[in-house]
Amino acid sequence: MSKTVKKHFVTFYSPGTMVAERDEMPIEKWDIKIAMEMAHNIVQRHSATPYGFRFTTRSRGSADLDSKETASSGMYYLGGRVETLEEIEARNDPKEDILRSNMRGNGWNKIVVNDNSWRWTQPLYDDDVVLPWKPRTKGSY
């Protein structure tokens, strides 16, 4: 009889210089409230704090040498504002030429803009969720 071992993780994403900084931590189960609480304690380089997180599950059967990712969630954004390509095109801000071009070229109809620490803009996919979020201020822990 084969026994499968599963372990759940939450990966937090914070603004980085070229790519997102990531912190992966074990979590008992895919629990949004627990992950949101954990996010208050994440600080990356240059005081960057998470703009979002996603859950993954890794599994390994008795015949497997190593575990593999067997499930993953969409991204859970910790606040932010959702903007559509239509809204961005209507603004016609010259500073957003590259953003508009990237959205059109990649077929992105929506983005999320997050300012928790440093501004971070990402495409918003169908399985992503923007959560109501307010980072704690220093001294409110």
Tokens of 37: 């609480």
pLDDT of residue 129: 98
Residue type at 37 in one-letter notation: E
pLDDT of residue 127: 96
pLDDT of residue 106: 97
| Alpha-carbon gap, residue 48 to 115, rounded angstroms | 10
| Alpha-carbon gap, residue 78 to 26, rounded angstroms | 19
pTM of the model: 0.89
Tokens of 48: 């960057």
Closest CA relative to residue 34, chosen from 16, 9, 57: 9
Collapsing DSSP states into helix, strand and coil, what is residue 95?
helix
Q: What distance lies between CA 8 and its chain's CA centroid?
A: 16
Tokens of 33: 């409230």
Q: Where are the domains of the chain?
A: 5-131
pLDDT of residue 137: 60
Residue 55 CA: distances (Å) to CA of 18, 72, 79, 98, 110: 23, 6, 17, 31, 22
**Residues in the chain with pLDDT < 70?**
1-2, 137-141
